[in-house]
Structure 1
Amino acid sequence: MNLISYPDRAVQAEQLAQLVASELQGAIQIKAKATAAFAGGTTPVLFFEALAKQALDWSKIAFTLTDERQVDPSNERSNARLLQTHLLGGLQPAASFQSLYQAAQTAADLDNLASQLQENFLPLDSVVLGMGNDGHFASLFPQASNLELGLDPNNSTILLEIRAPDLPEARISLSLAALLQAKHLHLLITSADKHQLLEQAQANLAASQPRQWPIEALLQQAGDKLTIHYAP
């Protein structure tokens, strides 16, 4: 695990955008295409806007999300809408996007979507995750249904439906196992509170304490593949 600290969020966004652009360009040079998955929420907005300004052949890049609320893409809570507004809007039709929204939400639909991701996206070239104040990443929340399956690095399930007591709607999330396949993993965090939680999670791991937050599973399994980008 590597940690990069930035003086502010604008610098963090710009430098992370340059790094991810370099990773995507490297993938294009090797295999003529690149894939990326990004978190939703407000934290990565500046990063999205900075990435949209990078000089890339967007026609060779396919994007998806690390997780999605099961709400219509027009809903203001939709991660797809956020990505469309701050990144994809100026890049399409060149860049392609795979939604995780499933209107029917049946097991067969989820299996079909997982198959599409397996065939067209995995292993991902670049992943940018966020972390909540409760230590969740993607939609792998504490007390969530399927959490243990989602955090098992050895399972073959790449996509899960997630429900939790405090979530107003179901979510679809990539599993830790799917995320660990990525060539490059980034964790984007802001605020002193999240930095403190991250330090405590690392201390828990060092002391072999029982897992307190989902993020500990990512820190433990990702190793040097993971780069943490922190700005106050």
Structure 2
Amino acid sequence: MYQINEFNEKAALDNALADKVAALLSQAIETKGKASLAVSGGSTPKGFFKALSQKTLPWKKVTITLADERWVNIDDDASNTKLVHEHLLQNNASEAKFFHLKQGEALTDETLTDLNLAAKSSLLPLDVLILGMGEDGHTASLFPCSDEIQTGLAQDNPNALLKVQPKTAPHQRISFTFSSLIKSEAIFLHIAGAGKKTVLNKALGKQDILEMPIRAFLQHPQINTQVFWAE
């Protein structure tokens, strides 16, 4: 299930989404004393990151992580970790904790096992999840072209994280699995531009989740994915 929220300007979307996420994080902190937020990379969320970073929250009680990460050095321009540190972990949000998905030089089975244990014990289930969407309908690093896509989308997958090697995009990835992401208290899809609206409409038109993994979130009967889109 989904609900589409449309905005004429990207700045209006950024501010509205920041207000919504800040309220949800505050509510989680009031309820259980802490909150968790997973965000996505790319250029689209930069304005949202800036707006959210300026919100007045008990940020020391918030843990931020990524829905997925490229296995590159954190000073690489392709690093989502770098993006988050430069645009979100600023201003008031500089006090938030950050859960690193990229740890160590190689994404070994041992590293993946350790990260799975750490995510399950200290982070999951997420309070707020912000997804992005690629032109091919991938979200997080659940790529339709990858050999790992069936495992990544399996609802009974016991693992929180998996490694992914896309065939149509560079870099090995680490990504949260669909089975772990759907347990999030609140799920948002943040997209912008006419091209992404076309992709969204295509995703809503059919049901094959292996063809367009974002459909798994948009068309699941027990998930309410809030779509935030601006021109």
Regarding TM over 0.5, the answer is yes
* Shift, 1:104, TM fit: 2.6
What one-letter code is carried by the residue in structure 2 that aligns with 1:98? F
The aligned residue for residue 157 of structure 2 is 155
Q: Cα 1:91–1:75, aligned 2, differ >3 Å: closer, same or farther?
A: farther
Which of 195, 198, 204 is the equivalent residue of 2:206? Answer: 204
Q: Deviations over 1:148-168 (max 9, x none)?
A: 111112211210100022232
Structure 2: gaps spanning 5 or more residues: none
TM-score, with length taken from structure 1: 0.94
* Shift, 1:66, TM fit: 0.2
Does residue 165 in structure 1 map to residue 167 in structure 2?
Answer: yes
The aligned residue for residue 83 of structure 2 is 82
Q: Cα 1:229–1:111, aligned 2, differ >3 Å: closer, same or farther?
A: same
RMSD: 1.5
* Shift, 1:105, TM fit: 1.2
The aligned residue for residue 23 of structure 1 is 24
* DSSP 3-state at the match of 2:219: helix
Question: What does 1:1-232 align with in structure 2 at a 5 Å threshold?
Answer: 1-91=2-92, 94-102=95-103, 103-205=105-207, 211-221=210-220, 223-232=222-231
TM-score, with length taken from structure 2: 0.94
What one-letter code is carried by the residue in structure 2 that aligns with 1:41? G
Aligned length: 229
* Shift, 1:215, TM fit: 1.2
* Shift, 1:180, TM fit: 0.2
| CA distance, structure 1, for counterparts of residue 40 and residue 127 of structure 2 | 15
Q: Cα 1:101–1:199, aligned 2, differ >3 Å: closer, same or farther?
A: same
| CA distance, structure 2, for counterparts of residue 211 and residue 99 of structure 1 | 28
* DSSP 3-state at the match of 2:90: helix
* Shift, 1:75, TM fit: 0.8
What one-letter code is carried by the residue in structure 1 that aligns with 2:13? Q
* DSSP 3-state at the match of 1:20: helix
What one-letter code is carried by the residue in structure 1 that aligns with 2:196? K
Q: Deviations over 1:79-110 (max 9, x none)?
A: 00000000113346621001111323110111
| CA distance, structure 1, for counterparts of residue 195 and residue 147 of structure 2 | 26
* DSSP 3-state at the match of 2:69: strand
Q: Deviations over 1:51-89 (max 9, x none)?
A: 001110100000100000000111111000000000113
What one-letter code is carried by the residue in structure 2 that aligns with 1:231? A
What one-letter code is carried by the residue in structure 2 that aligns with 1:221? H
